[in-house]
């Protein structure tokens, strides 16, 4: 089943708990948590304390996307009973295989992401130790950007590789998903779809989440 993961990067931080309740009401499956350090990407967002402040406010699992240098130093900070995935960037990890094992040993599912300029072959040697592959469809750092359409080809290619190798990682897309393109994104073979501004930019957030889910063809 395809899952929708709204990114709180585009939420109104002054009422984060309430905003998260809205996406839950709309039927979202995960909360995408975009952590930025101002080094790996040219923007600073928030850290583990903000994510942890949501633990009593929602039952949705956390899908943590670390856009930071030296992610190994921070993995334990993001472990909570609600943490489902912790995703690091291939471009930020010198010992990526070790980092993915570190995430699993800490108690979360291990994800790895690649930027639009990074080819899929850079992940070839770690596919067997990854629970999630996150394909960036914008250059990370900011919400509200336009999707780079070539990234959909990567999703299709990755799905083929998964079948050929008999693996079972989840395929996620992040960046520029909106009501107009979410159907195509789902058809390409995406399992988890991130939507930031498309979800939180609406006046009726639960209604928008429902619309995104229905246009993605997600049932149940």
Task: Give the residue numbers marked as catalytic.
Answer: 34, 174
* C-alpha to C-alpha distance for 175 and 186, rounded to whole angstroms: 14
Q: Minimum distance between the CB of residue 164 and ligand DX5, rounded to whole angstroms?
A: 28
* C-alpha to C-alpha distance for 5 and 177, rounded to whole angstroms: 11
Total interface residues for ligand DX5 by CB under 6 A = 22
Which of 174, 182, 188, 197 is the binder for Zn ion (CB under 5 A)?
174
Q: Which is nearer to ligand DX5, 24 or 34 (CB)?
A: 34
Q: Within a 13 Å sphere around the CA of 194, how many CA atoms are in the beta-carbon half?
A: 32
Total interface residues for Zn ion by CB under 5 A = 3
CA dihedral 24→86→124→156, nearest 10 degrees, is: 10
* Angle (CA) 112 165 219, round 5°: 70
Residues 50-89 that bind Zn ion (CB under 5 A): 65
Under the binding rule (CB under 6 A), the answer on residue 189 touching ligand DX5 is no
Residues 42-101 that bind ligand DX5 (CB under 6 A): 65
Residues 11-50 that bind Zn ion (CB under 5 A): 34
Q: Which is nearer to ligand DX5, 91 or 101 (CB)?
A: 91
Q: Which does 45 bind (CB under 5 to 8 A by kind): ligand DX5, Zn ion, none?
A: none
Token readout for 12 is: 């109104």
In the β-sheet with 62-67, what is the strand arrangement from edge to edge? 3-6, 192-195, 170-174, 132-136, 109-114, 83-89, 62-67, 31-36
Which of 51, 132, 138, 212 is the binder for ligand DX5 (CB under 6 A)?
138
Summarize as ranges the residues that interact with Zn ion (CB under 5 A). 34, 65, 174
């Amino acid at each position: 089943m395809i899952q929708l993961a709204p990114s709180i990067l585009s939420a109104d931080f002054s009422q984060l708990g309430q905003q998260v309740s809205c996406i839950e009401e709309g039927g979202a499956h995960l909360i995408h948590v975009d952590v930025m350090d101002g080094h790996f990407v040219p923007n600073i967002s928030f850290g583990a304390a903000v994510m942890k402040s949501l633990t009593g406010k929602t039952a949705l699992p956390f899908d943590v996307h670390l856009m930071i240098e030296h992610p190994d130093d921070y993995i334990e900070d993001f472990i909570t009973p609600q943490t489902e995935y912790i995703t690091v960037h291939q471009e930020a990890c010198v010992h990526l295989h070790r980092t993915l094992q570190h995430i699993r040993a800490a108690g979360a599912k291990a994800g790895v992401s690649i930027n639009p300029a990074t080819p899929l072959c850079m992940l070839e040697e770690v596919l067997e130790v990854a629970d999630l592959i996150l394909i960036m469809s914008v250059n990370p750092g900011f919400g509200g950007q336009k999707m780079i359409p070539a990234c959909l080809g990567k999703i299709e290619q990755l799905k083929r590789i998964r079948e050929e190798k008999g693996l079972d990682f989840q395929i996620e897309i992040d960046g520029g998903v909106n009501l107009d393109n979410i159907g195509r994104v789902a058809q390409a073979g995406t399992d988890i779809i991130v939507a930031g501004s498309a979800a939180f930019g609406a006046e009726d957030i639960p209604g928008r989440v429902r619309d995104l889910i229905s246009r993605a063809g997600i049932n149940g």
